[in-house]
């Protein structure tokens, strides 16, 4: 029953995406609607384990508007809307759509929020967030990847995303504090500067675990008084968080 309702929602979202992107070919629009359906189905199948019963409609809407095929290398565009991670060069990956949806949902983004992302990669997660918050600041450590993504986001006219090349361990002090922080590479501990740059009542979603350990997607919440609570929410697999030598 629940699945059926969500299926209808997925179709409606696909349809509204079609209207919003009138110049896009049906081919990609249909595939994207399929991806939305798969995310919805994954939410339904995993609800007992994850405790997430549905993804906010605004988040789903943002996912339905971002042309994921433009964020992956030309040779694998056909695979862009499958619910799996894909290589984006330099040994890095664009996360699985379900994980992007799940992490975005955990952050509870709002229109007036300032967000920080560590691990720009292809820029896909930043693009999804950009439809939900006021501004996204994002940091990539691999210079070539960061430069290419900066150009991609500019060409695609994402005006509320700023990309910086550097080591995200230290965050981005100039624009702090942030309402939400998302880390899309796994460090073996939570970088203290990121906790410092989180606003009171802010939340960070970060995979934590060493190279050969289980990584745990972790939620870090800062209370009004500045005290911090962490909660592990699910085992995940991300590329390692690297450091500049
Ligand atoms: N969010 C990306 C997925 C990125 S994969 C997307 O939507 O496509 C993780 C990225 O984190 C990689 O590009 C990797 O180079 C980057 N990364 C790893 N360690 C980092 C660090 N210390 N600072 C900034 N970026 C880092």
Is the pLDDT score of 212 beyond 60? Answer: yes
The Cβ-side half-sphere exposure at 41, using a 13 Å CA radius, reads: 10
By most ligand atoms within 8 Å of CB, the mutation choice from 66, 121, 161 for ligand 1 is: 121
Handedness of CA 176, 217, 6, 17 (dihedral sign): positive
With H, G, I as helix, E, B as strand and everything else as coil, classify residue 229.
strand
Question: pLDDT category, 25, cuts 50, 70, 90?
Answer: confident
The angle subtended at Cα 95 by Cα 116 and Cα 45, nearest 5°, is 115
Q: In the prediction, which pLDDT does 1 show?
A: 42
Beta bridge partners of 139: 118, 164
Distance 187 CA to ligand 1 centre (A): 11
Strand 114-118: give its sheet, edge to edge.
161-165, 135-140, 114-118, 178-183, 198-208, 215-222, 228-236
By most ligand atoms within 8 Å of CB, the mutation choice from 184, 187, 208, 211 for ligand 1 is: 184
Query: Are β-strands 198-208 and 178-183 bridged in parallel, bridged antiparallel, or unpaired?
Result: parallel
Pick the catalytic residue from 16, 62, 64, 95.
95
Nearest-atom index, ligand 1, CA of 244: 22
137-160 pLDDT, tens per residue?
999 999 999 999 999 999 999 999
59-84 pLDDT, tens per residue?
999 999 999 999 999 999 999 999 99
Q: Which residues of 203-234 are buried (b: 16+ CB within 10 A; e: fewer)?
A: bbbbbbbeeeeebbbbbbebeeeeeeeeeebb
Question: pLDDT category, 90, cuts 50, 70, 90?
Answer: very high
Residues 6+ positions from 217 with CB-CB distance below 8 Å: 103, 205, 206, 207, 232, 233, 234, 235, 236
Query: Are β-strands 215-222 and 198-208 bridged in parallel, bridged antiparallel, or unpaired?
Result: antiparallel
Question: pLDDT category, 202, cuts 50, 70, 90?
Answer: very high
| Active-site residue flag, 95 | yes
Rounded to 5, what percent of the chain is helix, strand, coil?
45, 25, 35
Distance 8 CA to ligand 1 centre (A): 34
By most ligand atoms within 8 Å of CB, the mutation choice from 120, 129, 167, 210 for ligand 1 is: 120
> For 14-28, 40-54, 222-236, which range has the lowest pLDDT when averaged over its residues?
14-28
Full-model pTM: 0.91
Q: In the prediction, which pLDDT does 78 show?
A: 94
Distance 142 CA to ligand 1 centre (A): 8
Distance 196 CA to ligand 1 centre (A): 20
**Type and span of the H or E element at 44:** helix 26-50
Is the pLDDT score of 186 beyond 60? Answer: yes
How far does CA 22 lie from the centroid of its chain?
25
Q: In the prediction, which pLDDT does 61 show?
A: 97
């Amino acid at each position: 029953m629940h699945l059926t309702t969500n299926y209808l929602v997925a179709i409606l979202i696909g349809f509204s995406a079609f209207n919003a992107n009138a110049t896009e070919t049906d081919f990609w629009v249909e595939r994207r609607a399929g991806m939305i359906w798969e995310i919805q189905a994954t939410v339904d199948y995993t609800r007992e384990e994850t405790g997430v019963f549905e993804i906010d409609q605004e988040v789903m809407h943002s996912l339905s508007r971002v042309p994921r095929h433009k964020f992956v290398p030309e040779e694998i565009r056909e695979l862009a809307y499958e619910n799996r991670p894909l290589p984006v060069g330099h040994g890095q990956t664009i996360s699985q759509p379900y994980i992007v949806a799940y992490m975005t949902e955990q952050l509870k983004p709002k229109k007036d929020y300032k967000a920080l992302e560590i691990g720009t990669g292809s820029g896909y997660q930043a693009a999804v967030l950009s439809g939900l918050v006021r501004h996204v600041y994002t940091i990539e450590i691999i210079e070539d990847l960061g430069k290419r993504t900066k150009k991609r986001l500019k060409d695609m006219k994402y005006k509320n995303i700023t990309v910086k090349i550097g080591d995200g361990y230290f965050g981005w002090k100039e624009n702090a504090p942030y309402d939400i922080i998302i880390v899309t590479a796994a460090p073996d501990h939570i970088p203290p500067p990121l906790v410092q740059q989180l606003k009171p009542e802010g939340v960070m979603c970060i995979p934590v675990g060493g190279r050969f350990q289980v990584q745990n997607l972790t939620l870090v919440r800062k209370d009004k008084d500045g005290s911090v609570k962490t909660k592990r929410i699910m085992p995940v697999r991300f590329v390692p968080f690297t450091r500049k030598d």
